[in-house]
Structure 1
Amino acid sequence: MSPLTSPLHDRHVAAGAKLADFSGWSMPIEYAGGGVLAEHAAVREGVGLFDVSHLGTGTVRGPGAAEFVNRCLTNDLGRIGPGQAQYTLCCQDDGGVVDDLIVYLHGPDDVLLVPNAANAAEVLGRLADAAPSGITVENRHADVAVLAVQGPRALQVLELLGLPGELAYMSFVTGTGGGAEVTVCRTGYTGEHGYELLVAADRAAEMWDALLEAGEPEGIRLCGLGARDTLRTEMGYPLHGHELSREISPVQARAGWAVGWKKPAFWGREALLAEKEAGPARLLWGLKAGGRQSPRPGMSVLGPDGAVIGSVTSGTFSPSLRVGIGLALLDTASGVAEGDELSVDVRGRVLPVEVVKPPFVESHVR
């Protein structure tokens, strides 16, 4: 089956993007004229523009919609109000993570969800199956495009386009810019000041062109999913299927902060409370190499005695630090602590690494 394409596919082809299948979508990995390193630097030092329309979108509406969602997903929607967003998790009964997603609270009867591409239908399907009479769950994946403007100059780009940008972190408003209505969200996946823009799919190309034109004085650069991955890894942000999965719980992934432990109900509650009380058998850590060689997913992590004590979940060359970095699930019984010296088995060769607690670089999200 052919991969799905973004509403901006033609723009990516015209810009010389290297395209690859990502969760069933043909998406840009990097663009001609710079590649991942230049795109990464643009976000850390200036501003970058990403197409992340592969992300899912769905609505939950009807009397008590927010209360219903709060009974299903892990985080506590009671902590936020209308116009605010929240990171949360959809878990199985055993505590495994079906997906991590962002919830946008419009009001008590209107919630917008942005799950990951591969899991959008599953998350929305589970909610639809559990929804009481009067609450409707609608998959809007094909109707909504998601663009990300990230970096220290992101605010200036939005202001040049006439979009509202002076927002508190994890809040959102609806405005007009580039000839289209757009929901401006102070969210992102890079560790930099930035925004995610939700716009109707049939207006995405106009918005894309308008952002590039407005951002030209700020040196805006097109960025692909390659830079998105190096940026998020430097921050220690999880990627579903790597640091979170149906086999990796939020307790193991250090995502317990996204669980409303005092809530009376959410999917996976009993299993997660039991794991939290007993302590997880493995825990997520960062690994930092001394040189350019990088740990890669699936590689074994070895203790000082050479015994396998875990596995790498993500790894890359850090453009900011100029060394290899990775994330790994390590056995808690090994007694691993920050600052310990371990090694990674790189196809039979030993790569020395230091255990660190992410982020690897300073976050500029405020």
Structure 2
Amino acid sequence: MSAELHQSPLHDRHAALGAKFAAFGGWEMPLEYAGGGVLKEHAAVREAAGVFDVSHLGKARVTGPGAADFVNACLTNDLGRIEPGKAQYTLCCDESGGVVDDLIAYLYGDEHVFLIPNAANTAEVVRRLVAAAPEGVTVTDEHAKHAVLAVQGPQSAEILGRLGLPTTHDYMSFENATLSGAELIVCRTGYTGEHGYELVVGWDDAAAVWDALIAAGVRPCGLGARDTLRTEMGYPLHGQELSLEISPVQARSGWAVGWTKPAFWGRDALLAEKAAGPRRQLRGLELTGRGIPRGHMQVYAGEQLIGETTSGTFSPTKKVGIALALIDTAAGVADGDPVQIEVRGKRIEAKVVKPPFVTPSVR
């Protein structure tokens, strides 16, 4: 593993649990743990509760007079739709409508917004915001100042409640709390489709919070299970379902765009694409034949090449191969239609479905 990779403040904890590490977004993060593996970790989140160390995620703070209005004029979603104490999924686009990153914005008030971008894109998001910030608004990169622990699963509320943490607040809202002497933010968010929480805690306090969660019976889970869980939900991963070449219109993420806002980065291009209709759109594919799809596999309707997979995996819940794919709109395929995915030189039968592939419990 390259010495240039960043490490989580919990790296030693993961190593002690027999974690297998992998490089992700410039960070060395646990992929899975000994004695469990992806399938058991996936099942823990769907059936009980698991915790992911996602401290590789970026953190940035925007403060000063008009900070919320400034962020709202840059990112796609409409912060005016939410009130302080709420969080919002949003996108940072370039002027062509391509996606620089997708992120979560925590709204504290008119003069304070906290952002959680993806690891590999944090520096670029911060750079763009700094370059555009008006006088009096400060943008601070706090990537290594905070850790993030995602506690996900149907038993997550019960377990966090036993630890004295708030659990009854609404989805996409956050509250301040204390655990094991550490101050933290408890936000009702997640990336698994299950009821869950993301805990933002100071870098140096992460170990104490992690230890308390493990002692309470939450199973440690790695990025392998995180990927199978999010794929079952049809959630996008930047660099696969969203990118500078894949717009929110193509990725069916237009719900995260404030279309009536007067300004946001990429507005003109996205409005034009929406009006004209995208040349391709993200669809779900469920294998009816045997095989496991991966990203960048060609998709056919008969002998016609109609698209390419962006992500693919074996669904531990459904026990079948599933994929997300960008499909040419001109192909005219509808949900339920048969298609074929070329897996290792062999075309495997599949059908077009509307994600999620499993029923979410998040509420």
Tell me if TM exceeds 0.5.
Answer: yes
Which runs of structure 2 are paired with 1:19-30 in the superposition (5 Å)? 19-30=21-32
2:326 to 310, 313, 329: 329
1:202 to 189, 201, 204: 204
1-structure distance, mates of 2:289, 2:235: 22
1:360 to 354, 357, 360: 357
Shift of 1:347: 2.2
1:190 maps to amino acid? T
Q: Secondary structure at the match of 2:89?
A: strand
1-structure distance, mates of 2:31, 2:237: 16
Shift of 1:292: 4.9
Deviations 1:139-180 (A, max 9, x none): 000000000000000001111111111110000010111220
1-structure distance, mates of 2:345, 2:49: 40
2-structure distance, mates of 1:244, 1:291: 28
Q: Secondary structure at the match of 2:208?
A: helix
- Look up the match of 2:248: 250
Shift of 1:291: 4.8
**More deviation, 270-279/171-180:** 171-180
2:311 to 309, 314, 324: 314
- Look up the match of 1:290: 288
RMSD over aligned CA atoms reads 0.7
Aligned length: 361
Please identify runs of 4+ aligned residues in structure 1 that moved more than 3 A: none
Q: Does the 8 A contact of 1:47 with 1:221 survive in 2?
A: yes
Deviations 1:280-317 (A, max 9, x none): 0000000001255121111000112x121100000000
1-structure distance, mates of 2:331, 2:233: 25
Q: Does the 8 A contact of 2:289 with 2:348 survive in 1?
A: no
Shift of 1:348: 1.5
1:28 maps to amino acid? P
Q: Secondary structure at the match of 1:38?
A: helix
Q: Does the 8 A contact of 2:308 with 2:326 survive in 1?
A: yes
1-structure distance, mates of 2:346, 2:180: 53
1-structure distance, mates of 2:173, 2:308: 36
Q: Does the 8 A contact of 1:292 with 1:317 survive in 2?
A: no
Shift of 1:231: 0.2
Q: Secondary structure at the match of 1:249?
A: coil
Q: Does the 8 A contact of 1:291 with 1:322 survive in 2?
A: no
1:10 to 12, 17, 20: 12
Q: Does the 8 A contact of 1:57 with 1:114 survive in 2?
A: yes
1-structure distance, mates of 2:90, 2:126: 14
Which runs of structure 2 are paired with 1:22-61 in the superposition (5 Å)? 22-61=24-63
Shift of 1:198: 0.2
- Look up the match of 2:236: 238
1-structure distance, mates of 2:291, 2:212: 39
Shift of 1:343: 0.1
Q: Secondary structure at the match of 1:262?
A: coil
2:251 maps to amino acid? A
2:348 maps to amino acid? L
- Stretches of structure 2 that go unaligned for 5 or more consecutive residues are none
1:33 maps to amino acid? G
1:109 to 111, 124, 127: 111
2:66 maps to amino acid? G
1:261 maps to amino acid? W
1:347 to 340, 344, 348: 344
- Look up the match of 1:137: 139
Q: Secondary structure at the match of 1:104?
A: strand
- Stretches of structure 1 that go unaligned for 5 or more consecutive residues are none
2-structure distance, mates of 1:95, 1:363: 29
Q: Does the 8 A contact of 2:193 with 2:360 survive in 1?
A: yes
2-structure distance, mates of 1:349, 1:211: 45
1-structure distance, mates of 2:120, 2:148: 15
> Is residue 213 of structure 2 the alignment partner of residue 211 of structure 1?
yes
Q: Does the 8 A contact of 2:283 with 2:325 survive in 1?
A: yes
1-structure distance, mates of 2:4, 2:136: 37
- Look up the match of 1:82: 84
Shift of 1:43: 0.2
1-structure distance, mates of 2:289, 2:142: 44
> Is residue 127 of structure 2 the alignment partner of residue 125 of structure 1?
yes
2-structure distance, mates of 1:180, 1:292: 49
1-structure distance, mates of 2:330, 2:292: 25
Deviations 1:188-237 (A, max 9, x none): 000000000000000000010011112x2xxx211000000000000000
Shift of 1:101: 0.2
Deviations 1:236-263 (A, max 9, x none): 0000000000000000000000000000
- Look up the match of 1:261: 259
Deviations 1:24-71 (A, max 9, x none): 100000000010000000000000011000000000000010000000
> Is residue 226 of structure 2 the alignment partner of residue 228 of structure 1?
yes
Shift of 1:115: 0.2
2-structure distance, mates of 1:48, 1:18: 17
2-structure distance, mates of 1:101, 1:323: 30
User: What TM-score comes out, normalization by structure 1 length?
Assistant: 0.98
1-structure distance, mates of 2:198, 2:107: 15
Deviations 1:100-129 (A, max 9, x none): 000000011000000000001100110011
- Look up the match of 1:187: 189
Change (3 A) 1:303 1:291: closer
1-structure distance, mates of 2:308, 2:132: 35
